[in-house]
Amino acid sequence: MRVATGLSVLVLGAGGIGHALVSGLEDGIGRVDPFKDMKNRPQGGHGTNLLLVGTDGRDTITKEEKKKYRLGGAPCHCTDTIMLVHLSADRRRASVVSLPRDSYAEMPAHTDRTTGERHESHPVKLNAAYAEGGPTLTVRTVENMTKVKIDHYLEVDFTSFMKTVDAVGGVEICTARPMKDAYTGLDLPAGTHELNGGQALQYVRSRHVDVAADLGRMERQQKFMAALIKQATSSGVLLNPVRFREVSTTVLGSVRADKGFGTEQMLALGKAMKGFGPASSEFASVPVGDPSFPVKGIGSTVRWDAEKSEKLFADLREDKPLAPPKPKPAAGAEKQAAGTLVDVAPKEIRVQVYNGTPKDGLGRSVDEALRATGFATTQAPLNGETRDRERTLVEYDPRWDRSAKSLAAALPGSELKPVKDQGPQMRVTVGSDFTKVHPVKAESRQTAGDFSPVRGDEVVCP
């Protein structure tokens, strides 16, 4: 995550600033050779594949920052975040695939970089590859798992991430509900927030804000990456030579990259991606078959869904878009896309509409408007028990209170009434106060371990 965000700014800016300003920056990059002596690698495809790795290194963070942002403790010297980024051959699309750090992996035979011991192939969590064999073993393990040939390797730590965010002026994040994590110190009320570098690090590191744990964290990281691209492309930082050099120097000061990623590559990519923005990026996570797959001696791991994962990585190899084509906007669609953020996706909420007024046809109009906004209505509105209701009423089972609140957001001013044992279907009785259905959209796209690809413009703040 941290690598991807910083390099997004750097590569995009390189195309608009020019060789003179970029050429002097290369000296700040730490160099590694992750491809040395590698054999039997996957066949290269179309486009460019980058393995972006964020480590938990914190050696240069001050005592005050460690205390404020809960960064104490010894680092594990492993990969905290792993992303595979595919830049399409026409340079019009960046596909970002998050690889869970606890993924079940078969590590190739290797020599331990610390002890010098020879190890045969054995099962591990994916993030352990870096601890045992550094960048080379990490690349080998990812290539073995995905059959995608890695063209470039990029790695940064906590410090670079915080400074990069501060250099672009912070990043805007929207949350549909309060987010609190005692482990990282994250404490955000529902709403829109401007995060500085330290707060942003808390946001992308937090694993204890929902039941999705690491998988939910990956989704938030992708959302943050899209938000940073939006900030970088809309704030003018890429067109201001002074600010661009400041950001670039900050990023490259703690970046480690393969020897083949230098000035010329940055300029070529930046020039090709000059019109880039959130809509040019798409995000996905590896489909999960078992989020708690037990392995003796290792513990609980994340096991990928073999069939769906193969399809995902085949699309990357073949340079195909991951997200479905964006449909042409219908009347009012732009307004709907900018709707209020809610906790539960409208498509997951079942609704029966009743007309509580003497106005004929109002029930059907509300049913159609809710369905157009995405709610799963019955399409069979009924007349209410009374036809003189003044305020619109939403009745719901307390077990589905989050769904009820999401529905109420689409009906501003409505009354919420819990009804024990009503079941998952919401009941809406339209009152004479009804004016229109307000557009809403879900913050999260998680569905039972399967993460559908989305474009960057679909996950940034409205």
Q: Is residue 314 part of a domain?
A: yes
Task: Kindly list the distances between the CA atom of residue 246 and the CA atoms of 60, 160, 252, in Å, as whole numbers in the listed order.
Answer: 18, 12, 10
Q: Which two tokens stand for residue 423?
A: 């079941």
Mean pLDDT within 163-171: 82
- Based on the domain organization, do 236 and 187 belong to the same domain? yes
How confident is the model at residue 116, as a pLDDT?
78
- Based on the domain organization, do 54 and 120 belong to the same domain? yes
Task: Kindly list the distances between the CA atom of residue 252 and the CA atoms of 16, 27, 322, in Å, as whole numbers in the listed order.
Answer: 18, 9, 30
**2 touches 157 (CB < 8 A):** yes
CATH of the domain at 377: 3.30.70
- Based on the domain organization, do 415 and 453 belong to the same domain? no
Mean model confidence pLDDT for the chain: 80
How confident is the model at residue 436, as a pLDDT?
93
- Report d(CA 23, CA 27) in Å as an integer: 9
Q: pLDDT (tens digit, 9 = 90+) per residue, 412-421?
A: 999 999 999 9
Residue 245 has pLDDT above 60, yes or no: yes
Q: Which two tokens stand for residue 177?
A: 């509900």
Q: Is residue 337 part of a domain?
A: no
Amino acid (1-letter code) at residue 152: H
- Report d(CA 454, CA 98) in Å as an integer: 13
Residue-by-residue DSSP string for 161-202? HHHHHHHTT-EEEEESS-EEETTTTEEE-SEEEEE-HHHHHH
Question: Do strands 350-355 and 256-258 pair parallel, antiparallel, or not at all (unpaired)?
Answer: unpaired
- Based on the domain organization, do 292 and 395 belong to the same domain? no
Percent of the chain with pLDDT over 90: 32
Q: pLDDT (tens digit, 9 = 90+) per residue, 328-359?
A: 554 444 444 457 888 888 988 999 999 999 99
- Based on the domain organization, do 192 and 249 belong to the same domain? yes
- 366: CB partners within 8 A, 6+ apart: 353, 355, 381, 428, 430, 434, 437
Q: List the one residue out of 44, 41, 52, 99 whose CA is nearest residue 319.
A: 44
- Based on the domain organization, do 362 and 283 belong to the same domain? no
- Based on the domain organization, do 279 and 358 belong to the same domain? no
Residue 159 has pLDDT above 90, yes or no: no
How confident is the model at residue 142, as a pLDDT?
96
Q: Is residue 424 part of a domain?
A: yes
Residue 55 has pLDDT above 80, yes or no: no
How confident is the model at residue 301, as a pLDDT?
92
Q: Is residue 122 part of a domain?
A: yes
Residue 125 sits at the vertex; the CA angle it makes with 120 and 130, to the nearest 5 degrees, is 75
Residue-by-residue DSSP string for 32-93? E-TTTT--SPPPP-SSEEEEEEEE---TT--HHHHHHTT--S---SSEEEEEEEEE-TTSS-
Q: Which residue has the higher pLDDT, 100 or 266?
A: 100
- Based on the domain organization, do 373 and 277 belong to the same domain? no
- Based on the domain organization, do 308 and 350 belong to the same domain? no
- Report d(CA 93, CA 462) in Å as an integer: 21
**Residue 365 lies in domain:** 344-442
Give, to the nearest 10 degrees, the angle between helix 197-205 and helix 158-167: 130
Q: Which two tokens stand for residue 367?
A: 């049913």
Q: Is residue 339 part of a domain?
A: no
Rg (CA), the chain: 24
Q: pLDDT (tens digit, 9 = 90+) per residue, 187-223?
A: 998 888 999 988 888 888 887 776 555 667 777 888 8
Most confident of 85-89, 182-186, 198-202, 315-319: 315-319
3-state class of 26 per DSSP? helix
- 147: CB partners within 8 A, 6+ apart: 42, 313, 317
User: Taking the chain, what is the end-to-end CA distance rounded to the nearest angstrom?
Assistant: 22
Q: List the one residue out of 234, 52, 261 whose CA is nearest residue 161.
A: 52
CATH of the domain at 205: 3.40.630.190
Q: Which two tokens stand for residue 163?
A: 């400074």
pTM higher than 0.85 for the full model?
no
Q: Is residue 335 part of a domain?
A: no
- Based on the domain organization, do 315 and 388 belong to the same domain? no
Residue 105 has pLDDT above 70, yes or no: yes
Q: Is residue 23 part of a domain?
A: yes
How confident is the model at residue 336, as a pLDDT?
45
Q: Is residue 333 part of a domain?
A: no
Q: In the chain, how many domains are there?
A: 2
- Report d(CA 104, CA 204) in Å as an integer: 22
Residue 391 has pLDDT above 80, yes or no: yes
- Based on the domain organization, do 244 and 109 belong to the same domain? yes
How many C-alpha atoms does 266 have within 13 Å on its Cβ side?
Answer: 30
Q: How far is CA 104 from the centre of its chain?
A: 21
- Based on the domain organization, do 298 and 374 belong to the same domain? no
Q: pLDDT (tens digit, 9 = 90+) per residue, 251-292?
A: 666 678 888 877 666 656 655 555 666 778 888 889 989 988
Task: Quickly state the pLDDT bin for 225 (edges 50, 70, 90).
Answer: confident
